[in-house]
Homo-oligomer: A and B are copies of this chain.
Amino acid sequence: MTGRPRDPAVDDAIRQAALSLITEQGYRGVSMEGIAARSGVSKQAVYRRYPSKGEVILDVLAVYARTRLPTPDTGDLREDLLALLEATFAGQRGVPGALNQALAAEALQDPAFAERVSRELIAARRQAVRQILTRARERGQLAHPDDDLLVDLVFGPMWYALLFAPGRLTDAYAAALADAVIAVGTHAG
């Protein structure tokens, strides 16, 4: 029933190989074959762990982004939003940006995978923003009733930029976006 346990070194080698392939060559350059070759691992070992390229990327992202979303709590909505947006955008400028792009590419090709990503990854990120909003609402700083819309206003432009203009994700943009969200939030809706 037990069998030989999986070698954690193999896990690491696979993730490391996938990560370096994505950063070096982008999503195009990633293949199950290539990951196996680069990591010095058999294809079987990869397929045993992940049914598809997307799952590899998802896992790499999960491990890589252990630097948790901060969910700052300064007592001020603007401060909180700004901190989260700057942190998030900063991340997207580097390797995680490439990972998220790869993720999106995979999701666009496989609705089931998109659903999975939505539930496991996207939801967590949304929750972080929603928490900030909830606290602001409790302090009476928020009039707009639809948190979902406000969250969309945060992440929508981010993904838009990842798709067509990754360079746009600057601190200044984070500030402008934070102000915009607050402008909407302080209205009654």
Binding site for B on A (CB under 8 A): 26-28, 101-102, 104-105, 107-111, 114, 117-118, 122, 146, 149, 152-153, 155-161, 163-165, 176-177, 179-180, 183-184, 187, 189
Contacts and interface: CB of A to CB of B under 8 A. Distances in A.
Contacts of A111: 26
Given A146-B176, A149-B177, A156-B157, A28 B117 contact: no
A176 B122 CA distance: 21
A140 to B, nearest CB: 18
A153 B160 CA distance: 10
B153 A157 contact: yes
A109 B28 contact: yes
A116 to B, nearest CB: 10
Contacts of A165: 118
A58 to B, nearest CB: 13
